[in-house]
Structure 1
């Protein structure tokens, strides 16, 4: 179970690094909420998920949270890579039809974290204590 926790947290950590690193470059994108702000928010939530997985990886709620964080990031990068969605309310148009090394690293890490969190969620109940508490 520790290997799964480390793998999932590592995927989330790469997500944190890439989003935090690129945030400033995307600050000009958007008029309401900038893409840079969204990148910072993603980095913060992914960091929280990574810490929770490491500290409390027996809880199905933690695995579910990590899955939602990683899967939503992966879904967003794939969606905005292949579909020009346009602006959605205060959210900017984040369509970027190109792959570059940091974006690719982030997508791969998010995929690893998504898969790890899904496996963690399914297997977490096997490692519960006799009292039923995680």
Structure 2
């Protein structure tokens, strides 16, 4: 037990839960910010890639990524104590990062309904998106671990 300045004793378990909640909020904000950057960049660039179309256009894929990232960010802010929300945020961020790295370094060509999206260059918006996705992936993984820990402590 700990003694606060007011003479009130706060159990150690309660202090740990409070610390977890604070860290969870920090991770929620950081992850949501990374996902917001991801959403903005993809929404902003989508029209640029509309001419690259087979059945599903690259612009459509960018809009889908923007929507998924925006949804994940909102869900995190509203329901960030739930591990399933963290899983969704982690999957969105990691998938975006994997796609940008894959199509930057590997020319896999068109397959199925997807166009060839090979683009062997880095430019400011692409770099910002990759950095935001990498940060969101890391913070979402940490948030998932803390959310699971918090859930087991409150049960």
Quote the offset at 1:130 in angstroms: 6.5
Instruction: Supply the distance in 1 between the matched residues of 2:67 and 2:130 (Cα, whole angstroms).
Output: 17
Task: List, as ranges, runs of 4+ consecutive aligned residues in structure 1 with deviation greater than 4 Å.
Answer: none
Structure 2 stretches lacking a partner, 5+ long: 1-23
Instruction: Supply the distance in 1 between the matched residues of 2:153 and 2:89 (Cα, whole angstroms).
Output: 25
In the other structure, the counterpart of 1:15 is: 38
TM-score relative to the length of structure 1: 0.95
Structure 1 stretches lacking a partner, 5+ long: none
Instruction: Supply the distance in 2 between the matched residues of 1:20 and 1:84 (Cα, whole angstroms).
Output: 24
Q: How many residues align?
A: 132
The structure that has the greater radius of gyration is: 2
Confirm or deny that 1:105 pairs with 2:108.
no
Q: 1:42 aligns to what SS in structure 2?
A: helix
In the other structure, the counterpart of 1:56 is: 79
Confirm or deny that 1:67 pairs with 2:90.
yes
In the other structure, the counterpart of 2:101 is: 78
TM-score relative to the length of structure 2: 0.82
Cα RMSD (Å) of the superposition? 1.2
Quote the offset at 1:129 in angstroms: 7.8
In the other structure, the counterpart of 1:125 is: 148
